[in-house]
Structure 1
Amino acid sequence: MDRKNVPLVYSCSGCSSAAQTANTIAIKMDRDNVAEMSCIAGVGGDVKPLVKTAKSGRDIIAIDGCPLACCKHILARHDIEAKHHFVLTNFDVPKRQHEDPDPQLTLRTYNQILELTL
């Protein structure tokens, strides 16, 4: 499979359970060859090869854990808008500090996002 034919996926990866759910979903999308995960921290840090990838014209899926929408805002700094932007609290994913993501909730949300992007 040519990975350049799948969208890029960027996710929040902060400290809350919602942020880690976003990161887990993006990793699963990458491992399932649904999307190619790239590094939102590198885009935010203006790392040239990662900004170039983000600006390559490929469809982008951005997954944020909460309404702060850090991932969306990082992309916007480079005039990039995701084709699909998801905020996991809108999927009833709770934002809890010092807690790991719920695996069943993560899988349910992953499947919901797949339905909305395919």
Structure 2
Amino acid sequence: MKKTDFPLVYSCSGCSSAAQTANMIAIKMDREKIAEMFCIAGVGGDVKPLVKTAKSGRNIIAIDGCPLACCKSSLARHDVQPKHYFVLSDFDVPKKIGEDPDPTLFTNAYKQVINGADLIHLE
């Protein structure tokens, strides 16, 4: 399967534990080759090649850590709507400043994102 056959995954990557959990989920999806992670900061910063990829028509999974919806808003600036959108606070992932992600909450949220996006996950 070519990389372009995978959905794109964008995630929040802010400073809170929830944001870093979102980022870790996107990285895991990329490394497991079930989605291709791309840079939301580049989309939000109007970097032309990254905006072009976001607007390419590929399915998009967007993951935000909290209801501030930075990832979703960055895509919306370019009229891009994700096929699947997740806010980790909906999965009981708390937003804690100055703390690392909780491994148990990460695992739970990862499974919910995979199931919600209808992706096959092999462990």
TM range, smaller chain = over 0.9
Q: CA RMSD in A?
A: 0.6
Summarize the alignment of residues 11-50 of structure 1 with structure 2, pairs less than 5 Å apart.
11-50=11-50
Q: Distance in 2 between matches of 1:71 and 1:112?
A: 18
> 1-side partners of 2:109 and 2:33: how far apart?
17
Cα distance in structure 1, aligned partners of 2:28 and 2:104:
14
Aligned length: 118
- How far apart, CA to CA, are the structure 1 residues paired with 2:63 and 2:5? 19
TM-score by length of 1: 0.98
In structure 1, the residue matched to 2:121 is none
**What is the rounded CA distance, in whole Å, between the counterparts of 1:107 and 1:29 in structure 2?**
12
1:2-81 maps to which residues of 2 (within 5 A)? 2-81=2-81
Q: Deviations over 1:86-118 (max 9, x none)?
A: 000000001000000011211111111111111
Per-residue displacement from partner, 1:34-85 (whole Å, max 9, x unpaired)?
1000000000111011000000000000000000000000000000000011
| 2:94 matched residue in structure 1 | 94
* Letter paired with 1:96: K
Please, which runs of 5 or more residues in structure 2 have no aligned partner? Answer: 119-123
Give CA-to-partner distance per residue, 1:11-50, whole Å, 9 cap, x none.
0000000000000000000001110000000001110110
Percent identity over the alignment?
71
Does residue 110 of structure 1 match 2:110?
yes
Q: Which amino acid aligns with 1:93?
A: V
User: Which runs of 5 or more residues in structure 1 are unaligned?
Assistant: none
CA separation in 2, counterparts of 1:78 and 1:113? 24
In structure 1, distance between residues paired with 2:113 and 2:25:
9
